[in-house]
Structure 1
Amino acid sequence: MKLTKLFKEFFESEKSTGIILIGCTLISLLLANSAIGSNYIDIWQTQFSGHSIEQWINDGLMAIFFLLIGLELEREIYHGELSKIKNAMLPILGAIGGIAVPAAIYIAFNYGTPEQSGSGIPMATDIAFALGILSLLGKRVPNTLKVFLAALAIIDDLGAIIIIAVFYTKTLMFTNLMYALGIFAFLLVLNRLKVRNLIPYLVAGVFMWYFMLLSGVHATIAGVLLAFAIPFGNGDEKSTSYILQHFLHKPVSFVILPIFALANTAIILNGDFGEILSHHYSIGIATGLIVGKPLGIFLATFIGVKLGLGKLPSRVKWKHIFGVGLLGGIGFTMSIFITLLAFEDATIINNSKLVILLSSLLAGLLGFTTLRLTLKKRK
C-alpha cells in the first residue's frame, strides 16, 4: 500500500510532535515544582483582554489545531481510508468502541457523583503521541496499520468534537450561535461558487470563532466547521484545502501543541499519589484509558469483521489491532482539553491531569511493547 505525500508528511510531523510534547511536559512539570513554580504557574494565569493566557491558548490557538483535524478528516473522507465504506468501517467501528467502552467504565465508577461529567475524558486519543510511538517501530510497521491508526484517531477526535459541542455547552446564547452558523452558511455558499482564495475563508472564520466563543458552544468547534467550508476540489497540491493543511502542519505540531502542553501540564506534585489515584474519577480515567480503550477498539473491530461489516487490512493481525488499541489509550492533549471543560474545581483538574499523564505513559509503553513483540522485522 502506497502512502500519499501529505500522509507521509502528516505521519512524520506527528512523530516529531510526540517527542517535543514529551519534552515540553517534562519541562513544565519541573518548572511547576521548582523554586519558581508559583511564578511559572502565574504566567499562564496572566489576564489579557478579559481572559487568561491559558484560556486564550485553549479557546484560540486550539481552534487552529481543530481546523487541522477537520482538514485531515475531510481528506480521509474524500481520498483516504474513509473514502470507501468497506475500508472505512473498521476504523469507524474501532473508534466507536474506543469511545463507548471507556465512557461506560468511567460512568460505572462515577455514576450519580458530581464528577460524572468527566465521562468524556477517557474517550479521546492523542494523534500526535499515538502515531509518534508507532513511528518509533520503524519499517516493521505495515503502511496499512499506520493508516488504520491515523483514521481511527481522526474519527476518535471527531467523536470528541461532537461530545464537546453537545455535552460541554453549559450556557447557550442562541443569537450569537445563529451569527456563527450564518457565517458558516455564507462560507458554504462561497465554496459552491468555487471561490478558491483562502483570505475570505480565514477572515470570516475569525468572526465565526468570535461568535461561537460568545455563544457558549466551545469556540474550537468553529475550527472544524471552517475546515469543511474550505474548498477541497480534486485534493491535489494546488487545491485550497491541501495548501492550508500543508501550511498548518508545522505551526500546529511545533508551536501550538507544545504551548498547549506547557500551559496545561503545570501540575504541582505535592499530594499523596495513593490518595489521588484512589478517587473515583481517577480510577475511571485510568481504567477507561488503559483498559477501556484497547478493549473497546478490539471488541468492536473483531465483532465487525465477524459480522462481515469490515475486513482486516493486509499484513495486519488481531494482535496488532490490540497493540494499536493500547496506543489509543494515550489521551493526553484531548483528554486534558476535555478535563478543563468537565471540571471547575482546581484540585480535581490538577489530579485528573496527573492521572491522564500517568495513564497515557503506561498505555504508550504497553502499546509499544506489544507491537514491538508482535510485528516482524522487515528486511
Structure 2
Amino acid sequence: MRQRVEKKLNQHLMLPIKLFMGREKSGGIVLILSVTLAMILANSNIAESYFHFFEQQVGFIVNGEPYLNYSLHHWINDGLMAMFFFVVGLELKREFIGGELADIRNTILPIGAAIGGMIIPALIFLSLNIGTAQTMGWGIPMATDIAFALGVVYLLGDKVPVSAKVFLTTLAIVDDLGAVLVIAFFYTSELSIASLLFGLGFLAVMFIGNRLGIKSPFFYAALGIGGVWVTFLLSGIHATIAAVLAAFMIPADAKINESVYLKRMKKLTRRFEHEVANEVRTLEEGQVDVLTHIQHDTTIAIPLLQQLEHKMSPIVTFLIMPIFAIANAGISFTDLSLSDIFSTHVALGVTLGLLLGKPIGIIGATFLMVKMRWATLPSAITRRTLLGLGMLASIGFTMSMFISTLAFTNELLMTQAKLGIFLASILGGIGGYVLLNKKK
C-alpha cells in the first residue's frame, strides 16, 4: 500500500517538477544564445536597423482609424509575454492544487526565504536611489529568473541534493508570484474602469464555465484572448496580469477520473486483443477504432490545465523567451561612457540589490525562521548550499528586465538597469555554480 502511494506521489507530484526542471536547463542555454545575439546586433554596423525594427508601429485599421496601434517592442512585451505569464499562471495553479505550494507546512521555509529575498533587494535599491525619480525601479532586483537558476542547478546534476532543488524550485515559484503582484499593484498606469469591469466580466464567465464543467480550450481561448487580454490592455493594467488571471480560470480536473480511465483502458485493451490482426503493416478497421478510442480517452483523462501547460511550455521556452531577449537585451556600448553608466545609482542599486540583497534576504529569513522554530532546514542543505542557492537567486534576468521596461521610459535609465541585471546575473550564476559544485 505504501509503495503504491509513493509511486502515485512520484508520478503526480515529483515527475512534473522533474520534467519542468529538465526543460529549464535547455531553455537557459537558448536564452544565453539569444542575449548574446542581441548584444552582437546592438553593437554591429546594423545596430540602427536592429533598434528601428522593434520600434515599427503595428496595429489595426477600423473605419479608417488606427486601433491597438503599438510598436513591435510593445506587442512583444504585452502580447507575446502574455503567453509566458499564462504558463506561469498555469504552473502556479498546479502548484497550489497538488504541488509544492499545496501544503503550507511543507513550504513555509522556502516561502519565507522568497519573501526575504524580495524585500531586502528592494530596500537596498531604495536606499541608494531615495529622493530621486529612479525609485520607480525598486521592483527590478526583486525577481529571480527560474530558467537560468534551475538551469545552473541541473548542470551540476547530483552534486546538488534533491531537497535543495525542491527548495529553490518552490522559492522561484513564490518569487514569480511576488513579481506578478508587484507588476499588478505598483506598475500599472492610469485605469479605465469601464474596460477593467468588462475584463472582470469576461473572467467571471470563464469561472462560471469552469464550474459548469466546460473543458473546451476554444471556449477559454476566445474569452481569455478576445475578452480578458484585450480589455485589460485597454484598461491600463498590464496585459500580462490578465494572462495570469485567465490561467487561474482554466479547469484543473479532467473529463474522466483515473478509475474510470483505467476501466475503459482495460475494456479497450481486451477488445484490441480479440480483434483479428491481418498479415500486412496496416491495422484492421476494428483495431484502428479501438486505438482511436484509447487516444480520445487518454486525452480527456488529462486536465485541460496540464494539457495547455505541456503544449505551451516548449513554445514559451524556445520561442517566446528568445524573442523577448533579442528585443530587450541589446545594449549599445558605442556611445556609452562610464560617466553615463554611473550618472545615477540605478545600475549600482540593481547590481547590489540582486547580488547582495538576494542571498542576504534568503539566508536571513531562513535562519530567522529556523531560530524561531517556525520551520526546519533539511539536513542536506548546509550553509554553503544555502549561500549557493542564494547566489543563484540573484540571477534576475528575464523578470527583472521585464520590470525595468515598466519602471523606466528613459533609454539611459533602462540601459543602466540592464547593465546591473547582466552584471549581477553573471556574477551570481558563477558564484552559485562554484559554491554548489562540490562532491557529494
Q: 1:268 aligns with which of 306, 312, 332?
A: 332
Which has the higher mean CA deviation after the structures are superposed, 229-238 or 19-28?
A: 229-238
1:252 matched residue in structure 2: 316
Q: 1:42 aligns with which of 45, 52, 71?
A: 52
CA distance in 1, matches of 2:151, 2:219: 34
Give the alignment's TM-score, normalised by structure 2.
0.82
Specify whether residues 315 and 274 from structure 1 end up closer, same or farther in structure 2 by C-alpha distance, changes over 3 A only: farther
CA distance in 2, matches of 1:168, 1:161: 10
1:233-252 mapped onto 2 (5 Å cutoff)? 233=253, 238-252=302-316
Q: 3-state DSSP class of the match of 1:4?
A: helix
Which has the higher mean CA deviation after the structures are superposed, 338-347 or 312-321?
A: 312-321
Specify whether residues 70 and 313 from structure 1 end up closer, same or farther in structure 2 by C-alpha distance, changes over 3 A only: farther
Q: 2:43 aligns with which of 33, 47, 60?
A: 33
* CA displacement at 1:318 relative to structure 2: 2.9
Q: 2:201 aligns with which of 182, 197, 214?
A: 182
Give the alignment's TM-score, normalised by structure 1.
0.95
Q: Is the 8 A contact 2:121 2:141 kept in 1?
A: yes
Deviations along 1:227-266, one digit per CA (max 9) or x if unpaired, are 1100112798611111111111100000000000000012
2:410 matched residue in structure 1: 345
* CA displacement at 1:279 relative to structure 2: 2.7
1:158-197 mapped onto 2 (5 Å cutoff)? 158-197=177-216
Which has the higher mean CA deviation after the structures are superposed, 139-148 or 325-334?
A: 139-148
* CA displacement at 1:278 relative to structure 2: 6.0
CA distance in 1, matches of 2:155, 2:83: 27
Aligned residues, how many? 375
CA distance in 2, matches of 1:199, 1:143: 39
1:310 matched residue in structure 2: 375
CA distance in 1, matches of 2:373, 2:201: 42
Q: 3-state DSSP class of the match of 1:349?
A: helix
1:110 matched residue in structure 2: 129
1:328-343 mapped onto 2 (5 Å cutoff)? 328-343=393-408
* CA displacement at 1:277 relative to structure 2: 4.2
1:22 equivalent in alignment to 2:41: no
1:221 matched residue in structure 2: 241
Corresponding letter in the other structure for 1:225: L
* CA displacement at 1:121 relative to structure 2: 0.3
Percent of matched pairs sharing the same residue: 45
Corresponding letter in the other structure for 2:243: G
Deviations along 1:320-360, one digit per CA (max 9) or x if unpaired, are 12211111111111111000100111111122112211111
1:280 equivalent in alignment to 2:345: yes
CA distance in 1, matches of 2:397, 2:405: 12
Q: Is the 8 A contact 1:86 1:309 kept in 2?
A: no
2:96 matched residue in structure 1: 77
CA distance in 1, matches of 2:315, 2:185: 29
CA distance in 2, matches of 1:4, 1:198: 26
- Structure 1: which 5+ runs fail to align? none
Corresponding letter in the other structure for 2:31: L
Q: 3-state DSSP class of the match of 2:381?
A: coil
Corresponding letter in the other structure for 1:34: S
CA distance in 1, matches of 2:108, 2:410: 39
CA distance in 2, matches of 1:89, 1:277: 39
CA distance in 2, matches of 1:124, 1:323: 17
* RMSD (CA atoms): 1.6
2:221 matched residue in structure 1: 202
CA distance in 1, matches of 2:406, 2:422: 17
Q: Is the 8 A contact 1:118 1:342 kept in 2?
A: yes
Specify whether residues 273 and 370 from structure 1 end up closer, same or farther in structure 2 by C-alpha distance, changes over 3 A only: farther
Runs of 4+ in 1 over 4 A off after TM superposition: 234-237
* CA displacement at 1:91 relative to structure 2: 1.4
1:325 matched residue in structure 2: 390
CA distance in 1, matches of 2:87, 2:380: 30
